[in-house]
C-alpha cells in the first residue's frame, strides 16, 4: 500500500485542487467559538446581575445560540470543506432555488447547468446536469473532445463537483499545464428525485431506473448535444464516496461504454441499506458488488483504473479491491492521500491525479 502521494503534478494544478479559502481554514471556526463564548459570558453575567422579567433576556439568549450554531456550521465546513468559497456558495444557492446557472471560468471555459426532461418510462424526474466545455469550444466547429463524467456522493447533487469539488478550476489548470487535453466534463444528478442513496442502480420495487437512465438517456444526450468523441476510449467515469462506488461498479460492468475509471473513496458494494431500500436480494446485491464479482470477471482489455483513498479513511477497504483487480490481470493505480479523510477536500486532491493517470492510460496525450 502506498502511504504517500507518489505521482507528480504541476504546482498550479495542486494549488487549484487545494482550494484553500478563509471558509475552509481552521481559524475561522476558532474565532467563531471565541465570539460565541464572549456572547454567552455576557448573557450569563447580565442574567445574574440584572433581575427582572426573564423574557427580556430572550433576544440575548437567542443571539448566543445563533453564535454557537454558526460556529458549529463553520467547524463542519472547515473539516469537510462543504463550501470552499463564496462563489461556490452562490452557485449552490442559485441552483437550489432553480435559477439558471451559467458562467465562464477565468480561462474562458463555459459551465452551464442543463435540465434533462423527465422520463416516465424510467421513473426519472427532470434531472440537473452540469456541463463544462473547455476554452475555445465551438459547438459548430470540427474539433471533438473526450468526456469526463463525475458522479457526486451521498448526500449530494450535480452541483457538487463544480462547487465544493472545484472541477472547473482544476480542469482549467490541468489543460493550461498540458497535463490533459481539452475535455468536456459532465456532472449528472443520480438521486432519481430528492436526495436519496440509490448508488446509480435500477430500483427493483417501482423506483427510478437510474442505471438505465445513464445509458439510455444521459450518455446519448451528451453525445448528441456536444462535440464529443463518442466511444469508450474517450470516456472516463469518475466519482467520490458512493459516486466512487458508482464509477467502479458501472465502469467495470459497462466496459463497452467507459474506457477508464477514477474511483475516489470507493466502496466495494452499494451498502445493505441502499440495496434493501431498492428491493435487492442477496443475488442482486452480489451482482452489483465489485467485492463479489471481480473474482469472476473476464476482462477483454487492460482497463486504466485509478483508486484513491484518504490515509485517515479506510485504505484497507480500497486495497482489497486493488488486490482483487490485480488477481484478474489488471494493473490499477492505487494511491493513499496523506493526512486526508473521507471528505471533499480529499476528492479535490485526488481527482487531478486520477484524471492524469487514466487519461495517459487511454492515450489521450
Q: Find the mean pLDDT for residues 190-203.
A: 87
What is the spatial distance between Cα 259 and Cα 335, in angstroms, rounded to a whole number? 20
Show the beta-strand stretches assigned E in the chain.
Answer: 102-104, 110-116, 127-133, 147-151, 184-188, 235-240, 260-264, 305-310, 333-337
| Local confidence band at 1 (pLDDT 50, 70, 90 cut-offs) | very low
pLDDT of residue 53: 56
Q: Find the mean pLDDT for residues 135-144.
A: 96
Q: What is the DSSP code string of 205-250?
A: SSS-BHHHHIIIIIHHHHHHHS-B--SGGGEEEEEETHHHHHHHHH
Show the beta-strand stretches assigned E in 224-322.
Answer: 235-240, 260-264, 305-310
* Interval 16-57: pLDDT, tens: 888 666 666 666 778 778 887 887 887 777 777 766 555 566
Strands 184-188 and 110-116: unpaired
Q: Which residue has the higher pLDDT, 39 or 329?
A: 329
The highest-level CATH class for domain 84-361 is alpha beta
Q: Which residues pair with 112 in a beta bridge?
A: 102, 131
* Interval 237-251: pLDDT, tens: 999 999 999 999 999
pLDDT of residue 3: 42
pLDDT of residue 92: 77
Contact, 12 vs 173, CB < 8 A? yes
* Interval 69-91: pLDDT, tens: 877 876 776 666 666 677 777 77
At 289, list the grid cell: 458488488
Domains in the chain: boundaries: 23-80, 84-361
283-293 as b/e, with b when 16 or more CB fall inside 10 Å? ebbeebbbeeb
* Interval 218-276: pLDDT, tens: 999 999 999 999 999 999 999 999 999 999 999 999 999 999 999 999 999 999 888 88
How much is the pTM? 0.88
Amino acid at each position: 500500500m502506498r502511504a504517500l502521494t507518489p505521482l507528480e503534478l504541476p504546482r498550479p494544478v495542486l494549488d487549484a485542487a487545494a482550494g484553500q479559502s478563509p471558509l475552509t481554514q481552521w481559524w475561522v471556526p476558532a474565532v467563531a467559538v471565541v465570539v460565541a463564548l464572549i456572547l454567552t459570558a455576557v448573557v450569563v453575567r447580565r442574567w445574574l446581575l440584572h433581575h427582572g422579567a426573564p423574557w427580556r433576556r430572550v433576544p440575548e439568549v437567542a443571539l448566543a445560540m445563533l453564535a454557537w450554531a454558526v460556529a458549529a456550521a463553520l467547524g463542519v465546513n472547515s473539516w469537510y470543506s462543504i463550501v470552499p468559497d463564496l462563489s461556490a456558495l452562490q452557485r449552490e444557492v442559485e441552483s437550489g432555488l432553480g435559477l439558471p446557472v451559467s458562467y465562464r471560468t477565468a480561462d474562458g471555459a463555459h459551465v452551464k447547468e442543463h435540465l434533462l426532461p423527465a422520463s416516465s418510462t424510467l421513473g426519472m424526474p427532470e434531472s440537473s446536469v452540469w456541463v463544462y466545455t473547455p476554452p475555445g469550444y465551438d459547438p459548430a466547429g470540427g474539433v471533438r473532445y473526450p468526456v469526463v463524467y463525475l458522479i457526486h456522493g451521498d448526500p449530494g447533487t450535480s452541483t457538487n463537483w463544480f462547487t465544493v469539488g472545484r472541477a472547473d478550476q482544476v480542469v482549467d489548470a490541468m489543460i493550461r499545464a498540458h497535463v490533459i487535453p481539452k475535455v468536456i466534463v459532465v456532472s449528472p444528478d443520480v438521486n432519481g428525485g430528492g436526495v436519496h442513496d440509490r448508488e446509480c442502480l435500477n430500483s427493483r420495487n417501482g423506483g427510478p431506473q437510474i442505471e438505465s437512465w445513464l445509458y439510455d438517456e444521459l450518455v446519448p444526450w451528451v453525445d448528441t448535444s456536444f462535440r464529443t468523441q463518442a466511444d469508450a476510449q474517450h470516456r472516463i467515469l469518475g466519482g467520490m464516496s458512493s459516486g466512487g462506488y458508482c464509477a467502479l461498479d458501472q465502469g467495470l460492468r459497462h466496459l463497452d461504454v467507459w474506457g477508464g475509471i477514477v474511483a475516489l473513496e470507493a466502496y466495494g458494494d452499494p451498502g445493505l441499506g441502499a440495496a434493501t431500500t431498492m428491493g435487492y436480494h442477496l443475488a442482486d446485491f452480489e451482482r452489483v458488488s465489485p467485492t463479489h464479482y471481480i473474482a469472476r470477471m473476464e476482462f477483454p482489455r487492460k482497463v486504466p483504473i485509478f483508486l484513491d483513498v484518504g490515509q485517515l479513511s479506510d485504505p484497507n477497504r480500497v486495497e482489497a479491491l486493488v488486490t482483487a483487480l490485480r488477481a484478474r490481470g489488471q494493473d490499477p493505480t492505487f494511491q493513499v492521500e496523506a493526512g486526508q479523510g473521507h471528505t471533499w477536500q480529499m476528492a479535490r486532491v485526488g481527482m487531478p491525479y486520477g484524471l492524469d493517470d487514466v487519461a495517459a492510460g487511454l492515450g489521450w496525450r
